[in-house]
Structure 1
Amino acid sequence: MIKGIYETHVNVRNLENSNHFYEKVLGLAHAYGQPERGNSFYWIGGERHAMLGLWEKEPAQVQRQHFAFHISLEDMKHAVEYLENKGIATRNFHDDDTGELYVFGWMPAVSVYFTDPDGHSLEFIAVLPDEAKPELGLIPWSEWERMHGRGV
């Protein structure tokens, strides 16, 4: 019956700042908003495909959340540069300073993490075309690609 997640909602401290981040920085298309009610909605993946809702709340009501945006594998090759060119700090799963992105062998998928103005943990994730290898756990993307005869 369930075919996907259609919408996700997050509480934000300042709707104007969050609107700027999601629309102008990340490039999501604005779908609808009710400033008088403190909300904005953004299309993800095209109109009517999926939606992100932002709700302005008091700071005590804004709890850190996590969600991931699906991107293409080709876009993942440039995701760190794309985000950092927009002034967004990126990190890998281990939050270390190697700059190496990791593959979740059980999916398999590669991802990069960053935060929004409210500290919500965001992720760009790209599913790889290969067979899952859960026994590998988390491995560097470059190692995964070498195992499959490709280079990042």
Structure 2
Amino acid sequence: MIQGLYEAHLPVKNLEVSMMFYSKLGLKLAWHDEDTAFYWIEEGRSWLGLWQGQEHATPYHPSLRHIAFRVDYEQLKGALAWLASIQVEAVPFGSRTSIEPFVRPHQGNASVYFDDPDGNSLELICHVVVPEELRHINDKLSFDEWEELARSYSK
């Protein structure tokens, strides 16, 4: 039934600053007015709404202010270089200290995280094919660790 993201919304302090940031990420402006802007994530399919002046009524929690953008595996491998090229810093996820993209075998995905100018949590994520025998691994693995494990498993 669910086929993808239709829309997500984030509160922003300064709409102009946020519009420049999301344009820099490569999202195309769908429309805006004096206090809102909508950017296409997938044109005609899903978009992100930015709302200026919305006070953060609750303490920050990533489930309230988080968006994950789907990318492919090779794009994720190059994500740190791409983020650096547009002057965006990656951030560690959770208790991790590394900003490097990582694989979650038990979930079958890989991610890298960064924040927007308002501290909203953003993620680039891709699907990773994980053999059933490796889905028990709950650790977050670097791409090097994952690829070495995957190579040794496929032999």
Task: Specify the SS of the correspondent of 2:44.
Answer: coil
Q: Is the 8 A contact 1:11 1:54 kept in 2?
A: yes
Per mean C-alpha deviation after superposition, the further-off stretch among 58-67 and 88-97 is 58-67
- Helix, strand or coil at the partner of 1:149: helix
1:62-77 paired onto structure 2 within 5 Å = 64=60, 65-77=65-77
Quick one: distance in 2 between partners of 1:87 and 1:7? Answer: 26
Q: Count matched residues.
A: 145
The aligned residue for residue 136 of structure 1 is 137
8 Å contact 2:11–2:55 — kept in the other structure?
A: no
Q: Does structure 2 conserve the Cα–Cα contact (< 8 Å) formed by 1:11 and 1:63?
A: no
Deviations 1:80-104 (A, max 9, x none): 011012221113434414x543211
Matched position secondary structure for 1:136: coil
State percent identity of aligned pairs.
35
Deviations along 1:47-70, whole A, 9 cap, x unmatched? 112100001015545864112111
Taking structure 2 as the reference length, the TM-score comes to 0.83
List gaps (5 residues or longer) in structure 1: none
The reply to whether residue 56 of structure 1 matches residue 48 of structure 2 is no
Q: Given that residues 92 and 111 in structure 1 are in contact (C-alpha distance below 8 angstroms), is that contact kept between their aligned partners in structure 2? A: no
| TM alignment of 1:117-128, pairs within 5 A | 117-128=117-128
Query: Who is 2:28 aligned against?
Result: 29
TM-score scaled by structure 1?
0.84
How far apart, in 1, do the equivalents of 2:48 and 2:123 lie? Answer: 14
What aligned pairs does 1:34-53 form with structure 2 within 5 A after superposition?
A: 34-35=33-34, 38-45=35-42, 47-53=43-49
- Residue 136 of structure 2: SS of its match in structure 1? helix
Distance, in Å, in 1 between the alignment partners of 2:100 and 2:84 is: 15
Preserved CA contact (<8 Å) 2:91 2:115: no
Q: Deviations over 1:116-139 (max 9, x none)?
A: 000011111111133353311122
Q: CA deviation at 1:141?
A: 2.0
Query: RMSD between aligned alpha carbons?
Result: 2.1
